[in-house]
Structure 1
């Protein structure tokens, strides 16, 4: 017994044969009947058909786009069998690829299979290929733009790469960091209990969690979608090492969402138009994925603006405007991070639902971090007074972790497995030197 995807492909085969063998302008026989799919089949294809409630026409259109990806010689074999004398067949459309040797369907191919040469039927189906149709809106199928001067429907029908991967493998792999996708997938093994923040900061983080839990109800069931923009935008600011990146990672972990860190310093290009192109690629990939986007070093693009003195200033403002537009239309959580709030132009502040300060930890917070950071296998000497250490040395959580790492390695190296005050102070002084501080 064939699965539903195979049934749909065979249905397209039969329908295409019926179209190719019908006399021009008439149909001597009835078209093949839509097969009865197994509604209980647990496959991605079955779920896609059920969730989108595809009509018969939409199903055929979808299968036209998928066919050469499932069976490379699909259309060539049909044309060869139905038209053994060969010759040109411009009505059928289709193009040849650079490496792929089979026929690749175009918009013309889909319309011919669905409507033949009936102009009225063809015109009625144009909406199917429109950018406003859900196939395009949900990034399932795209109609490639035509070559200059060629008919509008001569562009290829291209199923989205992620749709193909999902149909074939059942999953969609996360994109790797690259020049085309300048974002790094970040994760953490830590839990909320491992994160020590100022109470005010924690309270504001909880507000973001509340939005992540209840946004669907607010927007759809309570009807606020008409009044508020989708998504949530937050600004994290504070010194390095105070927990901004870890907080973003934990928000993703606790809600089972993927988090991607984007370093804007890598996205921004000196070449006009390249920054927008890089950002467009990023947001197009993230669309409808419910990812958390974490923009590190946000002041690389959102810094204080200056008067427009030349074309570069003008285009810099256009880059900011473009990023703001894409951030505001993104329906997930976007977090921008900076070390100094003063570096962010005040004109952008109103765009954020939350502006959260990550201050240097106070003595009581440092005490909690010191006590929880060292591995339990390391014995703490009697001369180590955590209360005194926390009060005396001002370090971030990341700085304390660096000290713990150094001390643990040294204890393993000399096989003492003991943390003494001299060793601890040596580690602290090393960290101070790295940060350019003096005791």
Structure 2
């Protein structure tokens, strides 16, 4: 466990000592404490801790007010909410802290256990490592414009496998950038520039063309699977995108039934008229429609009623921790039941552990994607992966 500076904000002296001892056992040597929110804010300003464990019920400034002030001060520390209150109250407090744009690792009921602390500290360690890897500056606008014209966009593919046999049934196309000097770069290095400068249509069309080109090549080599491509809602507001998709499929000799268009459901409500026509016309062509990140938007049920989706893709937020967390499990289970009643195929994304995979089998989910199966990979590696994983490829 890498060394961290931790602040415990709690008026319960015994609990502070107990948590301090647990942290020391887990390898944390720098532990500070404060008796209420006011003292906690002063300690944050003076010592800049990496992590704050904040109780809800305290005299003076309570935990909810404390995290609000942390957010107003643009604090970069991670937060763990702790309390003896019932679980739903504690989780609501954690969600409130997240709404304030704080990095909330989780919520722990008292009495705090070493196992619960260890899990959240490991999560924090992974975040720090990921942040160091992701510390990539945005590409300049002119570089992005030139790169779009010169073929710097690339597409990686993440396998989608059937449950329980792990047969490869499809892939999701994910955009990447090939820099002549820096190599492969993630979307965080260029996507904000594209979105902020009206280039999203150009990116979407290029990614789609590349995905269909590779899918057609796989088909010629005996790998006949579905390919899912994300389409921006902005692009789906263009009536001519249907003709573009139809012509691209024709050009590469692709069966429309082998294409799945993924739409992030929490954005489509902004203007439903044009996307509704576009998506319905695509469905009439035989193209599959997937409601992506299901459950994270404010109008999931309304979208399912309005749009002829063929696939429901459950967001990672309802997969991660589901084997251990009763409420997350309940939400996952209800999403599966809803999809079943509507006759939709079900995909669980972000599956990363054996326990999560086992739960997907128990719930009868159709397909899974995530690091437990495979990371996104270039097209040639995907073909090799398919062969090595007993997929019939000539």
Could you tell me the TM-score, scaled by structure 2's length?
A: 0.24
Structure having the larger proportion of residues in strand: 2
Structure having the larger proportion of residues in helix: 1
Larger Rg: 1
Could you tell me the TM-score, scaled by structure 1's length?
A: 0.22
